[in-house]
Chains A and B, each alone.
Chain A
Amino acid sequence: MSTHGSRRRFLTHGAAVASSLVMPSFRVAAADPVRMRAVWWGGQDRAKRTNEAIQIFEKQRPDLKIATESTAWADYWTKVATLVAGGNAPDVLQMDYRYLVEYAKRGTLMPLDAFIPKLLDIQDFGANNLDSCKVDGKLYGVNLGINSTATFVDTAAFAKAGLPLPTYQWTWDDMSRMSQEITKSRGKGFWGCMDSGGGEPAFEVFARQHGKDLYTADGKIGVDADLTAAWLDYWQTMRKANGCVPPDVQALDKGSTDSSMLVLGKAAIDLRHSNFLEGFQLAHKEKLGITMYPQTKGGKWGQYIKPSQMMSVAATTKNTDLAVALTNFLVKDPAGTKVLGIERGVPASPAVRKMLSPDLSEVGRAMVDYIALINDKVSPLPPAPPTGAGEIQKLLNRQNQKVGFGQATASVAAKEFVEESKRILG
């Protein structure tokens, strides 16, 4: 790495020498603009809103230029890792709860506690919303919006099958039964439910309903083979009963809005996160409903409220104050938050929520109401996912596919899942 550093230094020095030789007068005439970079993942709507907000921030400071980039979730982490490794970490980067520990513990992110309240006016977020962005007691991210897991349903499909819309009290058995009826009520190529057996958030909620966290506080796998087998078996039963989409259809779901089973018009029930509701509704012609994930009969509350995303500042940024100011602008300044709206989830600041409230669309209101509804039906935030959690997510998907395609029984796949998880998490 030392060669890398010296090469960079050589290049910058070289460039500086060259430019001072060629155009000495320019330097006096116009000061170099301060350049910063901001990156995030997400769809088109988010890119449009975020770019617009950042442009407003730029206009307030004439010699500031902010380059922005957004990618899909699946490509985002490889991109950020590459940028960081190459010594090109963006000044401001969107962070996820799953990766926060990974990046914070490795010294990539700047602790932000010292900037509160002067540059970062976020005390009104409340202890919960601040603590959920902390690692080892230090704040490494700023909550961009609150969300939780949520079930989206195609209301027209429910009406067609003569079913009432599910309420927050519905159970996994209810979901299975309703899904089968919806499949029956429709022609070929449409099923009741997506196949969420490989979905880590859904499995986590299921495990918590059974009193287990997916990860323990010391970063080990928190579920055993029996519980995993019960989960994989639930979905295998669902598949056999034609309640959910077949595995080769589900395999095309890349986790993005536009490849989801609900938006593609292949299923009526989709297990997601609440902040996706607006994007899903934009892409779906029928009216969508929102409710909690199914419950386990006699079980505990499994869901929790978490930051949907955070903004983090890179430890290597040369413009710390500006980077922090931009972050503050996006979560607290009315000029920025108005543009961003609730696309990233319900804002953590009560003042911002109040300001946005009159202008909310019907979908936006449904989402805010949903978070209000579940507020007393959630359990505390689980321990932060350990390093390697991203791999566990993919592992679960593979094991679920193995069961779906008939390459392993639920109990064998579950045993493999637990063993492999132990190997990954060490």
Chain B
Amino acid sequence: MLEIRNLSVAYPDGTPALQNLSISLGTREVLGIIGESGSGKSTLALAIMRLLPPDANVKGEIIYNGKDILGLSKSELERVRGTEIAMIFQDALSAFDPLMRVGPQIVEKAVTNKTLGYKEARARAIDLMRGLGVTNPEARFDAYPHELSGGLRQRAFIAMGLFQKPKIIILDEPTSALDVITQAQLIQTIRGLKEGGLSMIFITHDIALASTICDRVAVLYAGKMMEYGSVHQVIRRPIHPYTQGLIESTPTLTSVRRGLKAMKGYLPNLKSLPGGCRFHPRCPFATDICRSVDPELAELSDGRLVACHMAADSK
């Protein structure tokens, strides 16, 4: 569905945000992008939607439907955005104009494009919201953003994203601002969408959350992909030390028995990355080669990709 080849993004001052990323999204698949701050995960989402600032340095290709998104003209881009590829991000409150009611904003693009009349658009939006678990959708349609609770607002945001029936939806930390129970509700909704045929890119810092919904995951660290494979491979049996570290240091209800191990060190400053493998200062297995040579992504025998000198041997 979507193929990203060698995507590199740098800030105008030269700081690298993403380095040489290549991943693909299949039909009916949920691809997880796991990373902390500075990992480049949000940059990736913005790059796909071409929402990066104009002076950002973008290289590589993002192929959708046979065409490179990065090379589309403005009018083609406007057509793709929203109708083919949509994006939901963390803060639904800032996604809506506070002075307009929620409903009109959900249907706005379709109505202005004259794809649908207002009455039909409203009916479809209400149906959509009901399907997403919004209680009393007629009233919610006419509500202002601040009148809705966090969970409802996020669903309205998803309704806005889904309204034009896109093929791909990018969700950037969609549940981070929500309670655990609301998050569980939303995950259930998202599962429903997946069964309905939607392909999704699910961006999160919560590896446990990713394991409940994603089919494949890519683990990013300081702009580079460290591990890429199916959830069973990467999360149940992680190979890259960063992935292992993330899993061991995520507190879960069973972690007290398993033992919570903290990863040492700090996230690196993108402006001054460590030499060699950028994870080496924090890696318990680092050796001389790790300190001097930045490892390439290599394919292992089970089909996953790992960027680690120590892992290349376990083929």
Query: Do the two chains belong together in a single complex?
Result: no
